[in-house]
Amino acid sequence: MNKYDRIFTYYDSCFWLMTTYREGEEFQHSNLSHLMLARSYLETFLEITPEVGEIEFHDNFSVRKWYQNPDDMIKKTFNLINHYFGEVDAQYKKRIMDIYDSLDFNKNDYDIMRKSVSHGEYQNTNILFIKDRINLIDWDSLSVRPHLFDIVSSACYLCRDKRGDFIINPVKLKKYLKEENLLNEEVNNLRNMVFITFVPKEDTIEKFYVSGHDQLKWYLEWTLDAMEKCIKYF
């Protein structure tokens, strides 16, 4: 059990997590109705959200803190990596910083963006379908974040034509985002949310640290590769 009270182990090159068994059909990238049902289900996040502001989970997954002090947060992220993995090479750091330096974390935009209950990992492996109803599993946390975060992070996963590489179908992405009545401030922050989606997270870094140095190296490279590929579409 880790410090977030999650029971997991690493065996045979896989993470195993103790959870309740749920029945349902997995998300199919080839099924457009699955995509649109998943998108429309996001609206319920706004409907069930209490008026409490942002509720935070682990530190460098706090959207609010990225908008309050982004320079401090990017420093914390590299400190986390250095602590668990060791010093990354200059090219890896440059690739992250090239994206980071292209972004503008505007606190006023953050204050205006709609906040909602956040799944954290609203993606194909966590969405089950029972006929025309969705059974959502494996909530990342009980966080409240800008609603835009779940819109963008889910689009990166669901608007692909297949699992594996992060090659987004532009037609699917346009249709997915068009269904949302995004505020101007939200439109201006799409790329920021891609960055926050894939920046290496504290709890996941810890998980891969347990599994070994090579596995952590894979995670660090995988997240950066996904970030670089997805951000081009936004």
Read off the pTM: 0.84
Cβ neighbours, 10 Å, residue 153: 24
Provide the number of structural domains found in the chain.
1
Bigger pLDDT: 3 vs 53: 53
Specify whether the CB–CB gap between 159 and 38 falls below 8 A.
no
**Domain range for residue 154?**
25-231
Residue 224 lies in a domain: yes
Residue 13 lies in a domain: no
Residue 7 lies in a domain: no
Read off the pLDDT band of 222 (50, 70, 90): very high
Q: What is the pLDDT of residues 60-100, one digit of tens each?
A: 678 999 999 999 999 999 999 999 999 999 999 999 999 99
Q: What is the pLDDT of residues 151-182, one digit of tens each?
A: 999 999 999 999 888 999 999 999 999 988 89
Residue 10 lies in a domain: no
Residue 105 lies in a domain: yes
Bigger pLDDT: 78 vs 119: 78
Read off the pLDDT band of 209 (50, 70, 90): very high
Q: What is the pLDDT of residue 2?
A: 43
Strand, helix or coil for residue 76: helix
- For 98, counting Cβ atoms within 10 Å of its Cβ (0-12 exposed, 13-18 middle, 19+ buried), the class is exposed
CA atoms of 199 and 175, how far apart (whole Å) = 26
Residue 111 lies in a domain: yes
CA atoms of 102 and 104, how far apart (whole Å) = 7
Q: What is the pLDDT of residues 19-36, one digit of tens each?
A: 554 566 888 888 888 898
Best CA proximity match to 63, nearest among 14, 103, 13: 103
Burial string for 166-185 (b: 16+ CB within 10 Å, else e) reads bebbeebbeebbeebebeeb
Residue 3 lies in a domain: no
Residue 160 sits in a domain whose CATH number is: 3.90.1200.10
Q: What is the pLDDT of residue 1?
A: 44
Residue 15 lies in a domain: no
Read off the pLDDT band of 149 (50, 70, 90): very high
Look up residue 125 and give its DSSP letter: G
CA atoms of 205 and 198, how far apart (whole Å) = 12
